[in-house]
Amino acid sequence: MQTDLFAALDWQDALLTLRDNQLLRDLDVAIARFLQQQCPQASHEVLLLAAFTSQQQASGHLCLDLGNDELDRQLWGNAPPDGIRTLLPGGPGDWLRALQHSPLVSDNGTTPLVLDGPRLYLRRNWAQEVAVAEAIGTRLHTPTEVDARALREPLSQLFPDHSDGINWQQVACALATRRALAIITGGPGTGKTTTVVRLLGLLQSLAMADDQRLRIRLAAPTGKAAARLTESIGEQVKALQVADNVRDAIPTEVTTLHRLLGTRPDSRHFRHHRHNPLHADLVVVDEASMIDMDMMASLLDALAPTTRLVLLGDKDQLASVEAGAVMGDLCRHAHEGRYRPETVAFVQASCAMDISDYQAGAPHSASDLGQQTAMLRTNWRSKDSPGISELATAVNGNDAGSVSQAFKAHDSLQRQRLTDDDNSLEQRLLRGRNGDDGLAALFQAVAQPPQRRADFDDWARERLRQLTRQQLLSGLRSGPFGVEALNQRITHHLQQQDLIPEREWYAGRPVMMTRNDYQLGLMNGDMGLALPLLEETGREEQNGQPHTLLRVAFQLPDGRIKWVLPSRLDGVETVYAMTVHKSQGSEFNHALLVLPDTPHPLLTRELIYTAVTRARQHFTLLEYGPPAVLNQAVARATRRASGLTERL
Ligand SMILES: Nc1ncnc2c1ncn2[C@@H]1O[C@H](COP(=O)(O)OP(=O)(O)OP(=O)(O)O)[C@@H](O)[C@H]1O
């Protein structure tokens, strides 16, 4: 009966209705139509599932997991729309049977759709996931092992600080020497950079003792993250307890992943791939939680099988905007350790430390990858901002009581209820916490450029640093509490206060790149500030003032300042407010998070955690609604559908 009804419906209309109800995108509709052209005998049920599989990518899922208990919610929110049951009769079990008999579906990548257990993939996503799992598997079976006892002496020199418990930094270093892949995860300030610099010192010392020299490359997913790491690596390398020639053989410049792999204009393919691998013996990638499956596949493809890869990142942060949550998948059990007895013995021999409390309960629960993964657990920056790590831990633990308690216990944390009909948000941003971190101070400083052209780069660097003293964040892009509305509202207020003129470009306008511009060498997410630049040739004064031109200053990953003509930038937006997604890889002395007046499905635990951990010293929650908005967000953990963990 249902099948008759289904056949009677006009297929094209059904797709368009789903699109009009925002259950599908144009792209998803196009994919279903394309597949129908390729295979006219394909059932509408399978085509519809293909459209939904494509649509799942918009939420970061790599596949449609038909075994997911929350499939209904994932597909169409709360309740299925009218008529959908007619289009897609039965339940996941029936759909799986339909897929198994469809000519569009195989389990080995020979068809446009791939069914792997209960997971339905578009072929490209499946192929990437398989390639990533294989490349990781190869690295995990490539021993680079050195004798554990031979590590003991150099490790104790690199880690002179004596601690009673387990020194996870030292454990991470020791584990990383064993295979061509290592993962080091930990929250902010847990010493990931410190650890990796010591690891580089260790590996380079061992190589140089053998008359070799490792070619080391350092990278991060965004320009901002690369710039931040360049700065902290530089300091750490200076403090490294190694011979001078070893120190000199450790690079401090961090590049973006795109530059590392070699972007090619007008192509989504990179210059480096399996037939032209990167010339490197060791590649370190920081902020690995921002790497999506597509980029991870490209990265692994560009590395020779013998090139060591070390991934650093915070597994609890928001996953990449694009599909895949690779770091989260790779670190699924990092907090438990789940080490095998031989790993425990290796750590005992190399570090004289007992990690048997973190041994796997049952042999099958330990994975090869787990043996190469270490989680750092001490926040070394906590003296500066104890409240922030306490709040972050409470958010991670979905502990509403501890979240409220943290706000009460620490001056570094503030929670303020705002109403929509006053200007208290704008006034707060203008004032800042202590005057010198507010927007008013920024505009004042911007209005006082140096007198000599030679001083402009340093001045711009300082102004860009000033910009990171305070940042307003929102988890949403659209709607009254999304960054678009917030930026408009703040801009309007500043104009009313005569702090900025009513035109698009003005000195003091903070902007962010919204796409990669390879010609300019600027990447999506890079932040710039419009500043008056003293004109080099026109030294003559105008009305008693030196002649200045408006330029946008960006800091490149190597620290240099790049001055760009505003008209040359077509992919930028104002960032008085920034999305939490875009704030990844950045830190601010004071981060302020706006929460809307009602709970929102896009606000999740990872998003709140990421916002809190952007703050170095102070975190403020600006609530336009009841506490339930925060509590519901903290309770909502995201789980992205992928088969990577199982495959590994
Ligand atoms: N073992 C240690 N003993 C004392 N201080 C440490 C130790 N490890 C790291 N630190 C200090 O803690 C601070 C944070 O370390 P580091 O930058 O390595 O952390 P991180 O995890 O890379 O931080 P983030 O990702 O938040 O930038 C630094 O000032 C560093 O010098």
Q: How confident is the model at residue 4 (pLDDT cuts 50, 70, 90)?
A: very low
Are 73 and 177 in the same domain? Answer: no
Pairing, β 470-474 against β 588-595: parallel
For residue 583, count other CB atoms closer than 10 A to its CB.
25
> Distance (Å, rounded) from C-alpha 107 to C-alpha 342?
36
Per-residue model confidence (pLDDT) at position 287: 92
304 with 275, same domain?
yes
CA 437 to chain centre: 26
> Is residue 96 domain-shared with residue 159, that is, in the same domain?
no
User: Residue 408: exposed, middle, or buried by beta-carbon count in 10 A (0-12, 13-18, 19+)?
Assistant: exposed
In this predicted structure, the answer to whether residue 2 has a pLDDT above a threshold of 50 is: no
Q: Average the pLDDT over 340-368 and give the result.
A: 92
Cα-Cα-Cα-Cα torsion 151, 154, 157, 158, nearest 10 degrees, comes to -90
Same domain, 366 and 511: no
> Which residue range forms the structural domain that includes residue 359?
130-379
Cα of 193 from ligand 1 centre, angstroms:
7
Mean pLDDT of 116-121: 92
Whether the pLDDT of residue 8 is over 60: the answer is no
CB 272 within 8 A of CB 291: no
Asked whether residue 196 is assigned to any structural domain, the reply reads: yes
Please say if the pLDDT value at position 322 is more than 90: no
Report DSSP state, residue 595: E
125 is a domain residue: no
How far apart, in whole angstroms, are the C-alpha atoms of residue 457 and residue 534? 11
Residue 257 lies in a domain: yes
The kind and range of the H/E element at 618 are strand 615-623
Mutual angle of helices 341-351 and 148-158, in 10-degree steps: 50
216 lies in the same domain as 251: yes
Coil, strand or helix: which one is 207? helix
Lookup: tokens for 210: 């053998």
Q: How confident is the model at residue 161, as a pLDDT?
A: 72
pLDDT digits (tens, 9 = 90+) for 23-50: 889 999 999 999 988 888 888 889 989 9
Residue 642 inside a domain? The answer is no
Whether 349 and 440 share a structural domain = no
More confident residue, 545 or 582: 582
The tokens 């490792």 sit on which residue? 214
- Alpha carbon distance 178, 45 (integer Å): 49
Give the CATH number, domain containing residue 350.
Answer: 3.40.50.300
Q: Domain total for the chain?
A: 3
Average pLDDT, stretch 270-299?
94
Residue 74 in this model has a pLDDT that exceeds 80: no
**Range name among 12-21, 194-203, 358-367, 552-561 with the lowest pLDDT average:** 12-21
Identify the H or E element spanning 274.
none
Confidence check: pLDDT of 520 > 70: yes
The confidence score (pLDDT) of residue 339 equals 96
Of the residues 117, 152, 168, the one at which a domain ends: 117
Q: Which of 199, 289, 375, 381 to mutate to test the pocket of ligand 1 (most atoms within 8 A of CB)?
A: 381
Average pLDDT value for the chain = 88
Query: In the predicted model, what is the mean pLDDT of residues 216-232?
Result: 88
Q: How far apart are CA 368 and CA 136, in angstroms?
A: 10
In one letter, which amino acid is 469?
R
User: Are both 374 and 393 inside the same structural domain?
Assistant: no
Q: Binning pLDDT at 50, 70 and 90, where does residue 5 land?
A: very low
Can you tell me the mean pLDDT for 566-590? 92
CATH of the domain at 94: 1.10.10.1020
| Rounded Cα gap, residues 581 and 604, in angstroms | 12
Q: What does residue 523 show for φ and ψ, rounded to 5 degrees?
A: -115, 155
| Residues annotated within a binding site for ATP | 186-193
Give the pLDDT score at 546: 58
Q: Measure Cα distances from 567 to 50, 265, 266, 551, 552 in Å.
A: 42, 21, 22, 9, 10
Residue 4 resides in a domain: no
Among the listed ranges 55-59, 76-80, 135-139, which one has the minimum average pLDDT value?
76-80
Question: Exposure string (b/e) for 243-269, b if CB count within 10 Å is 16 or more?
Answer: eeebbebbbbebbbbbebbebeeeeee
Confidence of residue 573 (pLDDT cuts 50, 70, 90): very high
- Stronger pLDDT, 338 or 227, i.e. the higher one: 338
- Could you give the angle at which helices 192-209 and 223-238 cross, rounded to 10 degrees? 60
pLDDT in tens, 277-289: 999 999 999 999 9
Can you tell me the distance from the alpha carbon of 429 to that of 486, in angstroms, rounded to the nearest whole number?
12
CA of 169, closest atom in ligand 1: 1
Distance of CA 156 to the CA centre of its chain: 33
**Residues 458-497: tens digit of each pLDDT:** 999 999 999 999 999 999 999 999 999 999 999 999 999 9
Residues 316-320: what's their mean pLDDT? 83
Look at residue 560 and tell me whether its pLDDT is greater than 80. Answer: yes
Are 474 and 594 within 8 A, CB to CB? yes
Q: Chain-centre distance of CA 436, in angstroms? A: 30
430 and 469 share a domain? yes
Residue from 443, 428, 561 nearest 509 by CA? 443
Q: Where are the alpha helices (DSSP H) in 210-253?
A: 223-238, 244-248
Q: What span, in angstroms and rounded, lies between the C-alpha atoms of 83 and 65?
A: 22
Tokens read off for 257: 């992943």
Grouping H, G, I as helix, E, B as strand and the rest as coil, residue 257 is helix
- The answer on 218 and 173 residing in a single domain is yes
Q: Is residue 602 part of a domain?
A: yes
Kindly state whether residue 435 falls inside one of the protein's structural domains.
yes
Question: Which residue CA neighbors atom 19 of ligand 1 most closely?
Answer: 191
The stretch 194-198 carries a mean pLDDT of 94
Task: Specify the ligand 1 atom closest to the Cα of 228.
Answer: 27
The confidence score (pLDDT) of residue 6 equals 40
Query: Same domain for 294 and 200?
Result: yes
pLDDT in tens, 76-100: 766 666 667 777 778 888 889 989 9
For residue 80, the model assigns a pLDDT of: 66
Q: Establish if 42 belongs to a structural domain.
A: yes
Mean of pLDDT values over 48-73: 86
Q: Among the three residues 379, 402, 427, which one is the final residue of a domain in this structure?
A: 379
3-class state of residue 194 by DSSP: helix
Q: Give the tens place of pLDDT for each residue, 590-603.
A: 999 999 999 998 89
Q: How far is the CA of 192 from the centre of ligand 1 (A)?
A: 7
**Best of 162, 164, 193, 233 to mutate for ligand 1, by most ligand atoms within 8 A of CB?**
193
Query: In the listed set 117, 150, 172, which residue is the last one of a domain according to the structure?
Result: 117
pLDDT-derived band at 536, boundaries 50, 70, 90: low
Q: Are residues 54 and 142 in the same domain?
A: no
Regarding whether 16 and 100 lie in a shared domain, the answer is: yes
Q: Say what percent of the chain tops pLDDT 90.
A: 59
CA of 312 to the centre of ligand 1 (A): 13
Distance 382 CA to ligand 1 centre (A): 10
